[in-house]
Amino acid sequence: MKTAWILATLLLLSGCTPTLLKPVPDPSTPVSTSSVPEEPEAPDSSSDASGAPEEQPEEPSSLPDAQPPASAGSSVKGEPAVELPVPDGMPPAASDALKLPAQYVWSEAGYGLELLTPVQYEPGHWDPDSRGGPRGFWTGDFFLLQQGGKSAVANANGALLTGFDLDYNDPRWLSKDGMAEIFRNGKAGIIDVRDGSMVIPCAYQAVRPRGHGLFEATVDPDLTLLLDREGNTVFEMERSDSCYLIPGDNILALQQEGMLRLYRMDDYTPVNNCSCEKLTLLRESREGERALLGIYTTGAWGICDSEGNEIVEPLYDDIGYFQGDYADFTLNGKMGVIRYDGEVVVKPEWEDLIVYEDCASVCKQGRWGMITDLDNSELGIELAYDFVGAYGKGDYAVFERNNKFGLLDRAGNEIIPPHYDNMIYQSDRLATGYYLVQGNRPFSYGIVHDGKVVLTDNHDLVLSPLNGAAAEEEPYLLACNPREQWGYLDKTGKFVIDTRFDRADEFIAGRDVAFVSLEGEICLIDRDGHLVLETVFTDLICYHPETMVGMFAYPNPADPEEQKVCLARVIFPE
């Protein structure tokens, strides 16, 4: 039970596995893939000049006039603005491209779908059962298209940036600061997925964007390089080393050869160094306060700030990640709480302890209670429970007694008696006074209010907004009934859109529409549950929620088990 609460409430940060300073020659000459090689026209004589099959009209009857992409440019803090290319016409249709029906979309609300490519690409390694549901339809920053066993990159506008000369690897469709790992001939590099420029040549076992113009490139299992945007080696790092970027303080922290070395990120000049056998980041920098680092030396953990100033001398067996101003620590097998300035606010007398931003669950002799005010360290809830969790919205905490769960207020009053077999707790997705009850499956929950069951606990709920909306701003909650049909609840657990969809996604922030699958076809609905766009496509593999370009799948009429994909953009009413 404690493990579940730790996973739900603590953010665990870890460094990379890297380390040191000497320049290493670039192992390869950069290869440019920013232009798409010219491909021969398909031999299908029925194709028109654009390369689209004749059964596929230039515009379906429901397609409004094409509009410019919703996002034509992209900028990242600290990086130059990049103009995203837009598609330059339809790519040539391959001989095995699938032909769509004459009408492949329907809309009475003025929506449409603009084809950006023929339906000719291989779907790659994706699981149709993962579309929609608890994870929604996948969103991404770019698209990895596959043809003939090779891949090409298209940006968020659907413009092809490379030729089909890349290896196909498991696509994540996400970049960091516009940078993504690609493979060519078994070697990894970095491409800017906004404009297609090669940043790091394909010459490494793996390359990971670290952000702020730095990349972690694996040469072999024992050697990793930290590279800049020009491919220059900033540091060499070995297997046992650790590296943290602290952009808020303009600091790069490197642990290697028994030392902590701190450098300015802008010019890599040394700032400080000290003895350090292990390194961990305990707290990111915040306004007016530097980041805090855990340093292990002479057999104990201490704390310094990002300029190497000692906050806590190495005394402790362990120090946890800070939750706000406080972190747990262990000394001689007992746990306590330390403040960011090094002050011990809860003495190390507890057998177990979980610290939150303003309180801590504590355990002694198998009984749990709560310190509700960490600065005075006094028990606000006595040691009388099998477990006590964190306070959520409304200042209520879950407790367990005799394998039953209820809720406590900060004064220790039992607001909801322990009647429930599974955990009960609050969520920002629900209105005040409504509570979630954990079901017997992952993602399954019920909802209770005033002691009454509003929703039985055999429904799957999506609690984390998927498409950019803050939890308190998105009014609808995606829910699935026991028959695996999806619909939408409001914040009181009432169904506002009934469970009738095969698969479904959350509403897109700022769009007030959501992708769903109904009777095996991809559609868009509005917040009243009305179908505003229907298509013949059977899956939406990935889409960009700002440009509304997506990778849509269509089955081969001659062999429904075979599917091919295309890129298309949703057109909104004017």
Instruction: Determine which of 40-49, 439-448, 502-511 has the lowest per-residue pLDDT on average.
Output: 40-49
Task: Say yes or no to pLDDT of 30 above 90.
Answer: no
| 434 in a structural domain | yes
Show the beta-strand stretches assigned E in 170-316.
179-184, 187-192, 198-204, 206-211, 214-220, 223-228, 233-238, 242-246, 251-256, 259-264, 270-275, 278-283, 292-297, 300-305, 310-316
Neighbours of 278 (CB within 10 A): 15
Task: Say yes or no to pLDDT of 55 above 90.
Answer: no
Take residue 67 and report the two structure tokens written for it: 């509009």
Return the closest-CA partner of residue 84 out of 37, 16, 6, 142: 142
Task: Say yes or no to pLDDT of 571 above 90.
Answer: yes
Residue 492 and residue 567 in one domain? no
The residue type at 184: R
Residue 499 and residue 446 in one domain? yes
Q: How confident is the model at residue 554 (pLDDT cuts 50, 70, 90)?
A: very high
Q: Of the residues 278, 295, 316, which one is the last residue of a structural domain?
A: 316
pLDDT for position 104 = 96
pLDDT for position 137 = 87
pLDDT in tens, 74-128: 544 445 566 889 999 999 999 999 999 999 999 999 999 999 999 999 987 666 6
What domain range includes position 168? 142-235
pLDDT for position 128 = 60
| 340 in a structural domain | no
Q: Of the residues 297, 316, 335, which one is the last residue of a structural domain?
A: 316
Residue 478 and residue 545 in one domain? no
Take residue 125 and report the two structure tokens written for it: 């390694």
Q: Cα-Cα-Cα-Cα dihedral of 358, 363, 364, 368, to 10°?
A: 100
Instruction: Give the chain's mean pLDDT.
Output: 84
| 132 in a structural domain | yes
Place of tokens 């397609």: 63
Mean pLDDT calculated for residue range 434-459: 92
The total of structural domains in the chain comes to 4
Mean pLDDT calculated for residue range 126-146: 77
| 269 in a structural domain | yes
List the beta bridge partners of residue 565: 121, 553
Task: Say yes or no to pLDDT of 449 above 60.
Answer: yes
Neighbours of 498 (CB within 10 A): 12
CA–CA gap between residue 322 and residue 343 (Å, rounded):
13
Mean pLDDT calculated for residue range 67-72: 42
pLDDT for position 126 = 61
pLDDT for position 129 = 61
Task: Say yes or no to pLDDT of 23 above 50.
Answer: no
Q: How confident is the model at residue 383 (pLDDT cuts 50, 70, 90)?
A: very high
DSSP 7: H
pLDDT for position 442 = 85
| 6 in a structural domain | no
